[in-house]
Structure 1
Amino acid sequence: MSAVRNYFQELSTQVVQGWNRFWFSPGDAYCLGAMRALIGAMALWFIVSYSTDLVTWFGPHGLLTVPTVTRLTGIADSDEPVFTQSILFYVDQPAVLWSVHVVAVLAAAMCMVGLFSRVASIVTLLMVLSYVHRAPMLTGQFEPVLTALLLYLCIGPSGRALSIDRWLKSRNGKTAEPAPSLAANISLRLMQVHVVMFYLIFAFSKLAGEPWWNGEAVWWLMAQSESRLVDFSFLGQWNAAPVFNLWTYAFIAYEFSFAVFIGNRLARPLLLAIGFPLWLSLIPITGL
């Protein structure tokens, strides 16, 4: 009995120590700074993508006026309180729309380069949410990930390293290396956990669709002429079904593998090396 008791005592000790080490050890300021630059670039790309059709979508006579969106989303007919707010609900004149849009672009650019990093990250989050809530029918799987990452970025001191804020401090004689901090670690850990959860959700949701089971999902993505950037439909004449099957199953296998092995230091570089070209391969066939 003593051996069993000792085992569970050691197990509980290791679990608690691992939990505390994961969440409450100081986090690297440089890693958070790099994430700020990456997330800021993603937010900037997302906001700038609306530039060509801003008034077409959100103008006074646009395709998605506020009454149209509230009707399509069911908000107009709901008796429940509405918590999805957007600055763009209250503006539709072209001049005001463009003013808000320019502010959003500047905020995302400042977040990316690390200028007034904390304020810029908060404003960027609010602006991205404004676009998402204003036209949820234009969003996909990218926006939930982006908004979650921006939220966690607001928690940590993301401007302490790899930023203009850091450069300005160094010019004023404050040259000490940015120290690791608990807030930086919590911010990074929340990002890691959320990304793993998203990968699991994506993987399981694919298993609910028959095209992913029979290996035809990539072919169906290619066949959607309204969204693809490159027309690969001619490959259907070359008996390339095994390629499409392998391509389809590679996404499912990668998403499950990412969720399971991303915590392993040795597997992490391999997962990133495989994932980069795999996700890039979606761009020409989906337009994302």
Structure 2
Amino acid sequence: MKHLIFQLKKAWSLWDGFWFAPQNLLGLAFMRIVLCGTLLYMSFMRFFNLEFFTDKSWVSKSNALLILPELGRPGFAWNFWPDSANSPMLTVLVVLFALLTVGVGGRLLMALAWVINIGFIYRNYPVNFGADIIGSLFLFYMIFTNSCERLSVLNLFREKKSFKSSDALSSMMIRMMQVQIMAIYAYTGWEKLKGASWWDGTALWSVLANPQMTTMDFSFLREIPWVIPVLGYTTILFEVYFPPMVIWHKSRHIWLFMGLMMHLGIGIFMGLMPFATVMLSTYFLFLNSVALEQKIVSKLDFSRN
């Protein structure tokens, strides 16, 4: 009985430590900069397409939520402002993302930015891209973290020589974001296995052969056809096995490097760089913050020593 109690206490200690133990916030700060910087860019670009979020887009405000599948439809409209207020609300959102990118605002401004951002997304859901959806998802997690503790311009004016570690809520959200990105990769990988074109190796060709979906002409790949299936199978293997390979420390950096190359390729050759940077922002959560501290923080952290 004593042995059983000891093992239970040990298991609980490991569980508690995994979710709630204090963590170095440097990786989270890098994620905040990349994520909020990307959302800042995308929000600014909405100024050139504000008509998509009015009745001119053929989506009336009263019917905006009906476009969504019933399972994912919110109980109320987050877009609480009239269409005539889109421009000032978007201006507020751009300012909020600019402040958060440089580490000003913390949880309160993060929550306000998420509410306004999700309001625009739900106003006309079909005009949004994967970067909007995934970005808003991780922005929601960031609300519950003290992500502005590190790499903040406010540290230029603070007489501090040390930084706080994460509180229990921040630690839990960091773990949740790690689990979330692993689930996203695994789910998309298994979903690809449902498609016959992924099994026969031609799936990527339907994308690369379409000039409307790429930034350059890939017709030369007809001369080296084996490249297409190799890239396709590698993509599936990367996504399906992402969770165990980033958990295992010996393969973690290899898998993160593969992800970096994959997303840079998507960003450069398909013109989807915002999606790439949103996804890559989460990679900082898997890096060794102590190593980051030793190698580059002295150059990037705005603090007085």
Query: Shorter-chain TM-score category?
Result: 0.7 to 0.9
Deviation at 1:71, TM superposition (A): 5.3
2:67–2:125 CA contact under 8 A, matched in 1: no
Deviation at 1:191, TM superposition (A): 0.9
Give the TM-score of the pair, scaled to structure 1. 0.82
Deviation at 1:153, TM superposition (A): 1.0
Unaligned residue ranges in structure 1 (runs of 5+):
none
**Partner of 2:182 in structure 1?**
196
The answer to whether 1:130 aligns with 2:115 is no
Q: Percent identity?
A: 20
Task: Please list, as runs of the form range in 1=range in 2, the aligned pairs for 1:268-287 lying within 5 A after superposition.
Answer: 268-287=252-271
Over the residues paired in the alignment, what is the CA RMSD in angstroms?
Answer: 2.8
1:20 aligned to 6, 9, 16, which one?
16
**Partner of 1:116 in structure 2?**
105
Q: Which amino acid aligns with 1:25?
A: A
Q: Greater relative contact order (Cα 8 A, min sep 6): structure 1 or 2? A: 2
**Partner of 1:259 in structure 2?**
243
Number of residue pairs matched? 271
| Per-residue deviation, residues 8-52 of structure 1 (Å, max 9, x unmatched) | 777655533321221121121222222221221232233233232
Closer, same or farther in 2 for the Cα pair 1:73/1:185, shift >3 Å?
closer
> Following the alignment from structure 2 to structure 1, what is the Cα–Cα distance between the partners of residues 78 and 229?
41
> Following the alignment from structure 1 to structure 2, what is the Cα–Cα distance between the partners of residues 183 and 113?
22
Deviation at 1:121, TM superposition (A): 1.2
**Partner of 2:53 in structure 1?**
58
**Partner of 2:209 in structure 1?**
223
Deviation at 1:278, TM superposition (A): 1.1
Closer, same or farther in 2 for the Cα pair 1:70/1:16, shift >3 Å?
closer
1:231–1:285 CA contact under 8 A, matched in 2: no
Closer, same or farther in 2 for the Cα pair 1:116/1:10, shift >3 Å?
same
Unaligned residue ranges in structure 2 (runs of 5+):
273-305
Task: Please list, as runs of the form range in 1=range in 2, the aligned pairs for 1:5-44 lying within 5 A after superposition.
Answer: 12=8, 14-44=10-40
Deviation at 1:258, TM superposition (A): 1.5
Deviation at 1:175, TM superposition (A): 4.0
Q: Which amino acid aligns with 2:247?
A: G
Closer, same or farther in 2 for the Cα pair 1:21/1:244, shift >3 Å?
same
| Per-residue deviation, residues 25-84 of structure 1 (Å, max 9, x unmatched) | 1121222222221221232233233232222x1244235443564554478xx9xx9525
1:91 aligned to 82, 96, 99, which one?
82
**Partner of 1:161 in structure 2?**
150
| Per-residue deviation, residues 185-215 of structure 1 (Å, max 9, x unmatched) | 1121111111111111111111112222211
Deviation at 1:285, TM superposition (A): 4.6
Give the TM-score of the pair, scaled to structure 2. 0.78
* Further displaced range: 189-198 or 57-66: 57-66
